[in-house]
Chains A and B, each alone.
Chain A
Amino acid sequence: MNTETETPAPAGQALLQLIGLRKEFGTRTVNVAVDDVTLDVHEGETLALVGESGCGKTTLTRLLLRLLEPTAGSVRFDGRDLAALSAAELRAVRRRLQVVFQDPYSSMNPRMRITDIVAEPLVTHDPAARGRRGRARTRQRVGELLEAVGLDAGIQDRYPHEFSGGQRQRISIARALASEPRLLVLDEPTSALDVSVQATVLDLLAELQQRLRLTYVFVSHNLAVVGQVADRVAVMRRGRLVEVGEARQVFRSPQHPYTRQLLDAVPVMDPRRGRRAADRTPLTSEEGR
């Protein structure tokens, strides 16, 4: 996504720092969903978090959004420990830390108009956006946001079900941008979309990142998409990070056997190179359970 190569930035420049994060679930039988994860996300980069279902990547995003309390470890945003913040301070930090979810159908309240959906972060954080006078200003701002994501400002009074998956995802992005965030967690933002729609949404995200100097944490199971957007890649398995590195490096010369296994499994887009059964060697690994 960014053209300049990311050289490992000095620690001081990390916008988001995960330090020794651990999350356990359950009381009797303890299930470690996230196990000692330490990771820096630098200003302006796209860090992709990659892994298969059940690897703990969803839990990790919930931890970094502070929707879950970690069992151990800490999350620092812009140098401040989220756990040490008061409720009011945490709300202020949340403006700068937004999320876009995978399923554009369940990510919007079906009973709210587009204008109220997009304005929710504004109304929540800015008292001036409320009330009669604030309303006109808010509509103006929502219109701008919708236009920024390639939608018509005039759709404000419509309801989510009137829109296609791709349009809904744009609306979700508009909402995430409403509070002028610095970091967006993109949780499988294109997995529910058709390929052609996916391409346009990825383009939009790239453009917004450039224009607004956003930092992305891009969670995905689709390595081909990750290869297209990521500056750096973190590969997760069974709650742990097995490999973190520059995207090109990780994809071209994976260090960890699991990363290699993941890359090998991706179907190749060339019917001649396609590993048809005759010349395939069966995978030796055993799938879970």
Chain B
Amino acid sequence: MTVMSPAAATGQAPAAAPAAGSGLRVLRALLRNKLAVLALAVLVLLLTAALFAPLIAPYDPNAQNLLLRLQPPAWQSRGSGAHLLGTDQLGRDILSRVIYGARVSLLVGAGAALLAGVVGTAVGLVSGYFGGWADRVLMRLADVQLAFPALLLALAIVGFLGSGLWYVILVLGFTGWVSYARVVRSEVMSLRSRDFVTEARAIGVTDITIMRRHLLPNVTAPLATIGTLHVAAAIVAEASLSYLGLGVPKETVTWGSMLADGQLYLGTSWWVAVFPGIALMLTSLAINITGDALRDVADPKAYRR
């Protein structure tokens, strides 16, 4: 066909593109966005640092050297090449601590997002597909959840259960499911009136299969977006908890606890707080940018037709 209306043309165009739903297509589109590429690079760097921290970090992050307390970064007049980003009040190497801190941050971020995603998606699917009393109960639950400030709730639970990495993940996961549930629910509610869902019901396909085969694949795009944003939020939330001394145990290095430590010396030794702060900010920024880009490219107009 050489000639068609614009509508027909756009409807036809994806035929030339690789098969729908392939991650490759999304990735390729993502790579066209320069800022997203940069953000992705930062994330890859971070992930590598976290994975290979023992190999990369110049020192044991908890090794103290009271003789070298509060050494400034290498480029400052009193700084030394031995500690690129300086040392903290106990003489621990800041670079090593930032690298090790990435482990906790990423683990907490990914863990919390995954947990919240699984819970929220399940709730959203059930709520949106069945409607009725199930929907009413689950959504009231979501309202109750939202009525509590997430951080306050986290504080209360950590205070009650005690601190620890897994508790933090659990707490941040369970306080974050509502946004997933809301989005999945509204997507499912519009999907369930689509003919292909009605048709599946007419064929006799079971509800579980309909949710798995017809609904879930069609809500992944918004899920991925919320997921990335939630990772960033969870990392910041963990830092806040650690800053307040309620996060993970003292001997586990986290950016939040580093910030808390450094704040006392902000006037004299700024580097103690600033470097973990920059790491935190860069990470959260990179994840957010990736999330936005993902949302832009993963909205497949071809699917919507």
Q: Does B161 contact A (CB under 8 A)?
A: no
Q: How many residues of A contact B (CB 8 A)?
A: 33
Q: How far is the CA of A112 from the CA of B194 in the complex (A)?
A: 15
**Smallest Cβ distance from A146 to chain B, in angstroms?**
17
Picked from A103, A125, A159, the residue with its CB within 8 Å of the CB of B19 is A159
- For B209, what are the chain A residues with a Cβ–Cβ distance below 8 Å? 124
Q: Does B305 contact A (CB under 8 A)?
A: yes
Contact yes or no, B204 A91, CB < 8 A: yes
Q: How far is the CA of A101 from the CA of B19 in the complex (A)?
A: 25
Picked from A94, A158, A161, A175, the residue with its CB within 8 Å of the CB of B204 is A94
Q: Chain B 1-15, CB within 8 Å of chain A: the 1/0 string?
A: 000000000011011
Q: How far is the CA of A254 from the CA of B11 in the complex (A)?
A: 43
Contact yes or no, A106 B194, CB < 8 A: yes
Contact yes or no, A111 B217, CB < 8 A: yes
Q: Does A241 contact B (CB under 8 A)?
A: no
Contact yes or no, A120 B195, CB < 8 A: no
Q: Does A51 contact B (CB under 8 A)?
A: no
Q: How many residues of B contact A (CB 8 A)?
A: 28
Contact yes or no, B195 A101, CB < 8 A: yes
Q: Which A45-98 residues have C-beta < 8 A from chain B?
A: 65, 67, 90-91, 94-95, 97-98
Assuming the contacts A111-B21, A161-B11, A161-B14, asked whether A106 and B195 have C-beta atoms less than 8 A apart, the reply is: yes
Residue in chain B with minimal CB distance to A158: B19
Q: Does B56 contact A (CB under 8 A)?
A: no
Q: Does B302 contact A (CB under 8 A)?
A: yes
Q: Chain B 200-230, CB within 8 Å of chain A: the 1/0 string?
A: 1111110001000110011000000000000
- For A108, what are the chain B residues with a Cβ–Cβ distance below 8 Å? 196
Assuming the contacts A105-B305, A124-B203, A125-B204, asked whether A111 and B195 have C-beta atoms less than 8 A apart, the reply is: no
Q: How far is the CA of A217 from the CA of B212 in the complex (A)?
A: 31
Contact yes or no, B196 A109, CB < 8 A: yes
Picked from A107, A110, A121, A175, the residue with its CB within 8 Å of the CB of B20 is A110
Q: Does A17 contact B (CB under 8 A)?
A: no
Contact yes or no, A94 B218, CB < 8 A: no
Contact yes or no, B213 A109, CB < 8 A: yes
Contact yes or no, A101 B199, CB < 8 A: yes
Picked from B199, B217, B303, the residue with its CB within 8 Å of the CB of A161 is B303
Q: How far is the CA of A120 from the CA of B200 in the complex (A)?
A: 8
- For B201, what are the chain A residues with a Cβ–Cβ distance below 8 Å? 67
Q: Chain A 196-220, CB within 8 Å of chain B: the 1/0 string?
A: 0000000000000000000000000
- For B218, what are the chain A residues with a Cβ–Cβ distance below 8 Å? 109-111
Q: Which A109-135 residues have C-beta < 8 A from chain B?
A: 109-112, 120-121, 124-125
Q: Does A99 contact B (CB under 8 A)?
A: yes
Q: Does B76 contact A (CB under 8 A)?
A: no
- For A107, what are the chain B residues with a Cβ–Cβ distance below 8 Å? 194-196, 199
Chain B residues in the interface with A (C-beta under 8 A) = 11-12, 14-15, 19-21, 194-196, 198-205, 209, 213-214, 217-218, 300, 302-305
A-B contact pairs, 30 of them (CB 8 A): A65-B202, A67-B198, A94-B202, A98-B202, A98-B203, A99-B198, A101-B198, A102-B195, A106-B194, A106-B196, A107-B195, A108-B196, A109-B214, A109-B217, A110-B300, A110-B302, A110-B304, A111-B218, A120-B200, A120-B205, A121-B203, A121-B204, A124-B203, A124-B204, A124-B205, A124-B209, A125-B203, A157-B19, A159-B21, A161-B11
- Give 11 new A-B contacts, CB below 8 A, not counting A109-B213, A125-B204: A90-B204, A94-B202, A106-B194, A106-B196, A108-B196, A109-B217, A111-B303, A112-B213, A121-B204, A164-B12, A179-B203
Q: Top 8 closest A-B pairs, CB basis?
A: A107-B195, A110-B303, A91-B204, A94-B204, A101-B195, A111-B217, A161-B302, A162-B15
